[in-house]
């Protein structure tokens, strides 16, 4: 996704800013999101994620800056933009006195979807998120997780090209969270998706690229691998082995490539800037060491987040 140009971009953001009186919630964001890309916006509470999404969805007027969605300017052609997007907001907008069918039909009618098509699509979506059996219950009686699942599929009723998912799995139990993430994974590549989440492991697995936002600014941008490499100058290998002689370890120590070598209860840890996985393994074999497992230890997205923002990401 490094060679993004205007033909391959679904969303183009220039110098986007939002002020609430003296507070600058979004502070000059520039960002391009490719067609079919799954982009995760991560940031601590109050970083400006929801404010950004609300502006992109034409729900909130920017103070300055421009955004185009599939080439349409959000300020000049909001009606065009609204036809292309689906939004699952952080604060769910479902009507509690209606049931799921009725909530979905409200959206269907706004988008002028024919009744036959609407029924079929609603049924598929309800089935996918496990709500079909409860579809005639008043939504006010739903649990928080069920409401969030309905909130998600409401964004999908118009079968939009672009999806904005603001904390789609907030407050869900691990199993429901998994079901939603599996569903998002199915949509990956078929739609352009911009999501925010506090679950970094899932963002790590699913996202094509990640942007970290803090105090209204994008402070890091790239694939998760790029971001992990950017915070860690050294690579570390963990080797589980038998017959690790002191001579074998000393042999590694003679190489100036390896800055740090620890041997704790049969687990050898080797770190260095130019660590060569193959070279270490070949060397240990040549020393008659029996290797059970060997793995490169990478920083997690959580480590990246902490290093870049100085804050931990909590729900």
Ligand X SMILES: Nc1ncnc2c1ncn2[C@@H]1O[C@H](COP(=O)(O)OP(=O)(O)OP(=O)(O)O)[C@@H](O)[C@H]1O
Q: Smallest distance, Å, CB 301 to ligand X?
A: 16
211 scored as a contact of ligand X (CB under 6 A): no
Give the whole-angstrom CA distance, residue 220 versus residue 222.
7
Q: Total number of residues binding ligand X (CB under 6 A)?
A: 12
Nearest partner of 50 among 21, 94, 90, 93, judged by Cα: 90
Selected binder of ligand X within 42, 49, 199, 209 (CB under 6 A): 49
Nearest to ligand X of 56, 284 (CB atom): 56
43 scored as a contact of ligand X (CB under 6 A): yes
Give the whole-angstrom CA distance, residue 237 versus residue 270.
5
23 scored as a contact of ligand X (CB under 6 A): yes
Residue 45, CA atoms < 13 Å, CB-side half-sphere = 4
> Which residues have a Cβ under 8 Å from the Cβ of 308 and sit 6 or more positions away?
212, 214, 219, 220, 227, 231
Could you tell me which residues are beta bridge partners of residue 12?
A: 32, 68
50 scored as a contact of Mg ion (CB under 5 A): yes
Q: Smallest distance, Å, CB 196 to Mg ion?
A: 6
90 scored as a contact of Mg ion (CB under 5 A): yes
Q: Are 287 and 268 in contact (CB under 8 A)?
A: no
51 scored as a contact of ligand X (CB under 6 A): yes
- Quote the distance between the C-alpha of residue 245 and its chain's center: 45
Selected binder of ligand X within 12, 42, 48, 224 (CB under 6 A): 48
Nearest to ligand X of 34, 211 (CB atom): 211
Selected binder of ligand X within 40, 50, 169, 192 (CB under 6 A): 50
Q: Are 269 and 260 in contact (CB under 8 A)?
A: yes
292 scored as a contact of ligand X (CB under 6 A): no
20 binds, among ligand X, Mg ion, none (CB under 5 to 8 A by kind): ligand X
User: Which tokens go with 206?
Assistant: 């699913």
91 scored as a contact of ligand X (CB under 6 A): no
Contact residues for Mg ion, defined by CB under 5 A: 49-50, 90
């Amino acid at each position: 996704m490094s060679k993004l140009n205007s033909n391959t971009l679904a969303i183009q953001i220039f110098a986007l800013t939002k002020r609430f009186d003296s507070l600058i919630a979004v502070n000059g964001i520039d960002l391009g999101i490719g067609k079919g890309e799954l982009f995760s916006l991560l940031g601590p509470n109050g970083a400006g994620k929801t404010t950004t999404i609300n502006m992109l969805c034409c729900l909130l007027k920017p103070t300055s800056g421009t955004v185009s969605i599939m080439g349409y300017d959000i300020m000049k052609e909001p009606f065009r933009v609204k036809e292309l997007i689906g939004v699952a907001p952080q604060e769910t907008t479902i009507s509690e006195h209606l049931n799921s069918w009725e909530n979905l039909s409200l959206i269907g009618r706004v988008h002028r979807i024919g009744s036959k098509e609407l029924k079929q699509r609603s049924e598929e979506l309800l089935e996918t998120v496990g709500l079909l059996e409860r579809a005639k219950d008043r939504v006010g009686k739903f649990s928080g997780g069920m409401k969030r699942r309905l909130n998600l599929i409401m964004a999908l009723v118009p079968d939009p090209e672009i999806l904005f998912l603001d904390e789609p799995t907030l407050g869900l139990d691990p199993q429901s969270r998994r079901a939603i993430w599996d569903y998002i994974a199915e949509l990956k590549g078929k739609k352009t998706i911009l999501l925010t989440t506090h679950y970094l492991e899932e963002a790590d697995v699913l996202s094509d690229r990640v942007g970290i936002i803090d105090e209204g600014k994008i402070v890091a941008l790239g694939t998760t691998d790029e971001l992990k490499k950017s915070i860690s100058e050294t690579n570390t290998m963990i080797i589980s082995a038998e017959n690790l002689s002191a001579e074998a370890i000393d042999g590694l120590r003679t190489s100036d490539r390896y800055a740090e070598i620890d041997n704790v209860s049969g687990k050898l840890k080797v770190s260095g800037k130019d660590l060569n996985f193959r070279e270490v393994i070949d060397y240990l074999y040549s020393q008659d060491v029996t290797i059970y497992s060997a793995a490169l230890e990478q920083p997690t997205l959580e480590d990246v987040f902490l290093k870049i923002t100085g804050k931990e990401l909590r729900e």
